[in-house]
A and B are shown apart, each in its own frame.
Chain A
Amino acid sequence: MSLSAKDKDVVKAFWAKVAPKADDIGQDALSRMLVVYPQTKTYFAHWKDLSPGSAPVKKHGATVMGGVADAVGKIDDLTAGLLDLSELHAFTLRVDPANFKILAHNILVVFATKYPNDFTPEVHMAVDKFLAALARALAEKYR
């Protein structure tokens, strides 16, 4: 399920629309993940405050979306482009890759709440494919 030229165009166009709110989106998606999938909190036991809108959640949401933005720019070769991030996740963070899917779902939910008219089924499909490809690139160095 690799990204077609059309998928990439759709992703880039949608990203251009949502990029101004990227930090907000990241914070919202991360907050939702921690509430709706409480097992994900195990990766953030070192934070004082895991509640939606807290300082660490805000900061980390922005970090994560920065990574997504970077990936959009490297959409033609995600594996090569995200090598460093993959090493980080594989050797230091050791996040189980199943969680990438969980976070992706919450990013999609935030897109739906904030951009109901733009997040059409066609856009949904392309973005879903892109986030899945991003997850695969992140998991590249795991084993």
Chain B
Amino acid sequence: MVQWTDFERATIKDIFSKIDSAVVGPAALSRCLIVYPWTQRYFGSFGNLYNAEAIKSNPKVAAHGQVVLAGLEKAVKNMDDIKTTYKDLSVLHSEKLHVDPDNFNLLSDCLSIVVASQMGEAFTADVQAAFQKFLAVVVASLRKQYH
């Protein structure tokens, strides 16, 4: 089981209460599709992803960004057992969506960058460490049901 320090718990809850979820989800996903263009392979049905401008203004990307962030908020509410909370999501990503789990790290990096830009100097090294630990647990839980 993952051990969270008091600081880590408080920091994660604080981050998610401070960030604008309507902005962060879409920003992180669109950044991922722009910075790592091969990730577009999973979004063939999303229409125009031909350039950065198209991706940033694509409504399906924005909507899906919100879906992703809602998933993260569920993990925040269940920090002591993200593995169980994400069991079905893991099966979905493996069996139905066939997502290479290495992509989870790419989106994680983009989430860190976007949250860093929202929080500025408040995103200290210790806050970054807590946030990245949280994302690592999320990623490990999403990988759990792959076989």
Contacts and interface: CB of A to CB of B under 8 A. Distances in A.
Contacts of A119: 113, 117
A108 B110 CA distance: 10
A19 interface: no
Contacts of B125: 31-32, 34-36, 52
Given A113-B121, A113-B123, A116-B120, A124 B128 contact: no
B118 A116 contact: yes
Contact of B126 (A35, A105, A112, A114): A35
Nearest to A30: B125
B30 interface: yes
Please tell me the size bucket of the interface on A: 10 to 19
Contacts of A109: 112-113, 116, 123, 128
B19 interface: no
Interface in B128-146: 128-129, 132
A36 B120 contact: no
B119 A113 contact: yes
Chain B binding surface SS class: helix
A138 B117 CA distance: 29
A76 interface: no
A125 B35 contact: yes
A108 B34 contact: no
Nearest to B109: A105
Chain A CB within 10 Å, residue with most, of B30, B55, B126: B126
Given A35-B128, A122-B34, A112 B52 contact: no
A31 B129 CA distance: 11
B113 A35 contact: no
Interface of B: 30-31, 34-35, 52, 55-56, 109, 112-114, 116-121, 123, 125-126, 128-129, 132
Interface of A: 31-32, 34-36, 52, 105, 108-109, 112-114, 116, 119, 121-122, 124-125, 128
Given A119-B113, A121-B55, 4 more contacts: A108-B109, A113-B119, A119-B117, A124-B113
21 contacts: A31-B125, A35-B125, A35-B128, A36-B125, A36-B128, A36-B129, A52-B125, A109-B113, A109-B116, A112-B114, A113-B119, A113-B123, A116-B117, A116-B118, A119-B117, A121-B30, A121-B31, A121-B52, A121-B55, A124-B31, A124-B113
